[in-house]
Amino acid sequence: MLWKQPKLPIFIVLAIILISSCSTKNGPESSTARPIADSEIEAYWIKFYKINSRVIVHLNGEEIHDSGVFEEITKPYTLSLSKLIKEGKNTLEIDLLNGPPYDDSVGFDKYWEIDYEIFNYDEPIDFSYEVNKTGRNGLVWEREHILEIE
């Protein structure tokens, strides 16, 4: 009676095939899928993979970076935090603005996207990937990261 034998091995094989065929945009694989050049590695830094349309970065309440007004930034670039970070609690705020215009006065751009990782040397310590096709103009997304430095 072959049909009464347990089917557990078949389920295990199917589960392995299913798991190995799945991939995710975020997660542990993202750091291996995105090689880091030696010239980029330093104590604390951010690697922006994609920005649509403009990003403004604040560290401890002070603006440290404005990507400027572009329709879309698709070439990865890095932002150094090492010389700006202080010992103790550091608040890093990343704001994404969509547009133009950024004040909702004219036009309407529905699509925005942001993709970045924060690193300590070559180890990712935090990341964000957000996309929206029903957004608005102006400030459309913001995220705060707390970096504790000993």
- List pLDDT tens digits, range 60-94: 999 999 998 766 788 899 999 999 999 999 999 99
- List pLDDT tens digits, range 26-50: 333 333 445 556 655 668 999 999 9
- List pLDDT tens digits, range 102-135: 455 555 677 889 999 999 988 999 999 999 987 7
Query: For residue 80, what pLDDT is reported?
Result: 93
Report whether 121 contacts 87 (CB < 8 A): no
3-state secondary structure of 148: strand
| CA nearest to 130, candidates 66, 61, 67, 55 | 55
Confidence of residue 13 (pLDDT cuts 50, 70, 90): very low
Confidence of residue 53 (pLDDT cuts 50, 70, 90): confident
pLDDT higher at 9 or 145: 145
Q: How far apart are CA 127 and CA 69, in angstroms?
A: 23
pLDDT of 22 above 50: no
pLDDT of 17 above 60: no
